[in-house]
Amino acid sequence: MSPDPSPALPTVAVWKFASCDGCQLSLLDCEDELLTLAESVRFAHFTEMSRAAVAGPYDLSLVEGSITTAADALRIRTIRAQSRLLFTIGACATSGGIQGLRNFAASGAYAGMVYAHSEYISSLDTSTAIADHVPVDFELHGCPIDRRQLLELITATLAGRRPAIPGYSVCQECKARGTVCLLVAHGTACLGPVTRAGCGGLCPSVGRGCFGCFGPADTANTVSLSTRLRHDGAGEAQVARLFRTFNAAAPVFLAASVAHGGAPPADDGAATPSPRGPSPERDP
Ligand code: SF4
Ligand code: SF4
């Protein structure tokens, strides 16, 4: 890495761990705003955009992906030590992502199904959130994240104000865009009442129940929703399955799935909440 040639601008570094790159891509999707943003910050490390890499320390690190290898568990500590602020972006980084499903299976169970020679795979038995390993200054949820929320987070941080990112549920977004409630009108299974807003109520707007991409809302009442789903005819396995997608290892969704018969985490045999406790969201 080279020394920073323009030290006047705040430096932003974007890091990838176990992930599909979709959340980093959301930053590149900020087409109209990206050039303006590039006048306010220096992208010091962003391999999806440029091979140029400037040595740390960094003012802000954006971290995509979960921790799935011993090497990455060490790498995130180095990145944290180089970063004044560290924000995690996306379901992989904030809850372990879809690959967190491995947490509920025997060691290597999925690797054996996917790879012809899984003996060459060296990884941890779990996929865990970045906040389980290092302090995180803000978690931005979604699979993928919403680019407008990402811009709001970055610009608010640059301006020194609290980002306007809601913790209420997708239902409020349905109401705002005038979507007829699928759950009430048609009995369609929908995770919107317990899922954090951010997508704009996209799936319900096209007749699909919410899949829970943005993870648990601040005051998610999964017991109430599960009772309604059972009343509408969903079986126990279906309710458990609904909570086992992109944010399966998020403590609130994890507890809800286990309560309806989903396998507990393989390492402890019980549905234990994450040791990191409440969401670390706070003023950046
Ligand atoms: S949160 Fe979803 S979109 Fe983002 S990196 Fe993970 S799998 Fe991809
Ligand atoms: S469709 Fe789903 S997200 Fe929309 S209001 Fe109904 S329950 Fe809430």
pLDDT score at 109 = 86
Contacts of 46 (CB under 8 A, 6+ apart): 12, 13, 14, 24, 27
Across the range 26-42, mean pLDDT stands at 90
**Ligand 1 atom nearest residue 91's Cα:** 1
pLDDT score at 82 = 98
Kindly give the distance from the C-alpha atom of residue 135 to the centroid of ligand 2, in angstroms, as a whole number. 34
CA distances in angstroms from 39 to 6, 8, 35, 99, 242, listed in the order given: 11, 11, 7, 36, 43
pLDDT score at 31 = 84
- Cβ of residue 181 lying under 6 Å from some atom of ligand 2: yes
The predicted-structure confidence for 156-198, as pLDDT tens digits, reads as follows: 999 999 999 999 999 999 999 999 999 999 999 999 999 999 9
Kindly give the distance from the C-alpha atom of residue 161 to the centroid of ligand 1, in angstroms, as a whole number. 27
Rounded Cα–Cα distance for residues 196 and 221 (Å):
12
Contacts of 244 (CB under 8 A, 6+ apart): 101, 104, 253, 257, 262
Residue with tokens 């997608």: 245
The predicted-structure confidence for 254-279, as pLDDT tens digits, reads as follows: 999 999 999 999 865 433 334 343 34
Using an 8 Å Cβ cutoff, are 215 and 253 in contact? yes
pLDDT score at 272 = 38
Rounded Cα–Cα distance for residues 217 and 206 (Å):
22
- Cβ of residue 19 lying under 6 Å from some atom of ligand 1: yes
CA distances in angstroms from 229 to 48, 141, 187, 261, listed in the order given: 41, 25, 8, 15
The residue whose CB lies within 8 Å of the most ligand 2 atoms, and thus the one to mutate among 168, 172, 173, 174, is 174
The predicted-structure confidence for 202-254, as pLDDT tens digits, reads as follows: 999 999 999 999 999 999 999 999 999 999 999 999 999 999 999 999 999 99
Kindly give the distance from the C-alpha atom of residue 194 to the centroid of ligand 2, in angstroms, as a whole number. 10
The predicted-structure confidence for 84-127, as pLDDT tens digits, reads as follows: 999 999 999 999 999 999 999 988 888 888 889 988 988 999 99
The residue whose CB lies within 8 Å of the most ligand 1 atoms, and thus the one to mutate among 64, 68, 130, is 64
- Cβ of residue 97 lying under 6 Å from some atom of ligand 1: yes
User: Has residue 284 got a pLDDT over 50?
Assistant: no
The predicted-structure confidence for 44-58, as pLDDT tens digits, reads as follows: 999 998 888 899 899
Strand partners, 110: none
Kindly give the distance from the C-alpha atom of residue 170 to the centroid of ligand 2, in angstroms, as a whole number. 7
Across the range 128-153, mean pLDDT stands at 97
Starting at the earlier edge strand, list the strands of the sheet with 42-45. Answer: 42-45, 11-16, 58-64, 83-89, 138-140
**Ligand 1 atom nearest residue 90's Cα:** 1
pLDDT score at 8 = 85
pLDDT score at 235 = 96
Using an 8 Å Cβ cutoff, are 61 and 28 in contact? no
- Which residue's CA is minimally distant from atom 8 of ligand 2? 171
Q: 6 or 219: whose pLDDT is higher?
A: 219
